[in-house]
Amino acid sequence: MKLALVADIHANREALAAVLAHAATQGVDRHAFLGDYVGYGADPGWVVDRLRERVDAGAFAVQGNHDAAVATGPQPSMVADARAVVAWTRDRLDTAQVAFLAALPLTHVEGEALFVHANAWAPADWAYLQTRREAVHSLQATDRRFTFCGHVHVPMLYHLASTGKAGEFKPSPGTTIPLSAHRRWLAIPGSVGQPRDGDPAACYAIFDSGEHVLTFHRVPYDHAAAAAKVRAAGLPERVAERLAGAP
């Protein structure tokens, strides 16, 4: 089965539409949404509605920190830009949309894979997974062979051998990577709506659960239109700048 791994959409309608269209051309059977559907972007309602449609059609979704913040109030650890957007977002969602975000689980386990927004060792604490050591920490906190998470907006692949040696790898888009059965893997597909590696194209990945191969993708979209909406909504300028690839 081909599973699209879709993370950190952040209310970016243009980016999500482009990613879903691209995934459709790749023969994707199903979608896994890895959290942070809202926050930063100008189209939270549209994104949540698309998400609910997909979940009704068999997709699954886990909760991200921005989703939790909109549902229950911002976490103390949240950066200022994000905090500013939480209230704005909440005002633009109806009760049903907020309830949907509030009811999302923190983790989803299916077959050999764990799906979680931030990490496996403490999903509700939202700690970032940015180093090999943290990847090992996460892999040791689950008995699943594959972990898929978001939260960090840069595509990354970590692996852990039975000997205890771990490695990390910056994937190139479009290359099909076999995930050897002799080790465990943690993949971060990167962000759909707020990539942070200087390339404005939207990130996502496809995991083939039968073949055990993973392909990272970059999908170009009209990021200028998304940024214009962010500015028009009076959201922080930095959020708009980042859509064009600003660091």
Partner 1 sequence: MRPDGSIAPASLEVGQVVDGFRLDALAHRGGMATIWQVRRVDPPAPTAEAALPLLMKVPRLRGGEAPAAIVGFEVEQMIMPMLAGPHVPKYVAKGDFTRLPYIVMERIEGSSLRERFDAAPLPIDDVARLGAKVATALHELHRQRVVHLDVKPSNVMLRRGADGGEGDAVLIDFGLARHDLLPDLLEEEFELPMGTSPYMSPEQVRFVRDDSRSDLFSTGVMLYHLTTGRRPFGAPSSVHGLRRRLYREPTAPRSLRPDCPPWLQEVILHCLEVRPERRYQTAAQLAFDLQHPDQVALGERAARTGSGSAGDVVRRWFASLGNRQAIEGGAGAQSARSPIVLAAIDVAGAEPALLESARETVLRMLEAEAGTRLACLTVMRINRVGMDELVEADGTSRHLNLLIALKHWARPLLQAPGAPAGAGDAAARITFHVIEAPDPATAIVEYARRNHIDHIVIGARSSGRWRRHLGSVSARVAAEADCTVTVVRATAQAG
By CB under 8 A, name the binding residues for partner 1: 157, 159, 161-163, 165-167, 169, 171-172, 175, 177-178, 180-183
In the complex with partner 1, which residue's Cβ is closer, 5 or 101?
5
**Contact call for residues 89 and 44 (beta carbons, < 8 A):** yes
* Min dist. Cβ of residue 180 to partner 1 (A): 5
Q: Tokens representing 55?
A: 């979940």
| Distance in angstroms (rounded) separating the CA atoms of residues 8 and 190 | 8
Assign 90 to helix, strand or coil: helix
**Contact call for residues 47 and 13 (beta carbons, < 8 A):** yes
CA-to-CA dists, residue 25 to 20, 29, 90, 123, 231, angstroms: 9, 11, 34, 32, 32
| Distance in angstroms (rounded) separating the CA atoms of residues 34 and 109 | 12
In the complex with partner 1, which residue's Cβ is closer, 161 or 244?
161
Closest CA to 31 of 49, 44, 19: 19
CB atoms within 10 A of CB 91: 8
* Min dist. Cβ of residue 158 to partner 1 (A): 9
**Contact call for residues 142 and 114 (beta carbons, < 8 A):** yes
In the complex with partner 1, which residue's Cβ is closer, 25 or 162?
162
In the complex with partner 1, which residue's Cβ is closer, 69 or 177?
177
* Min dist. Cβ of residue 165 to partner 1 (A): 5
| Distance in angstroms (rounded) separating the CA atoms of residues 122 and 45 | 29
In the complex with partner 1, which residue's Cβ is closer, 5 or 86?
5
* Min dist. Cβ of residue 146 to partner 1 (A): 14
CA-to-CA dists, residue 46 to 119, 126, 227, angstroms: 27, 25, 16
In the complex with partner 1, which residue's Cβ is closer, 126 or 216?
216
* Min dist. Cβ of residue 211 to partner 1 (A): 11
* Min dist. Cβ of residue 171 to partner 1 (A): 8
In the complex with partner 1, which residue's Cβ is closer, 47 or 187?
187
* Min dist. Cβ of residue 135 to partner 1 (A): 12
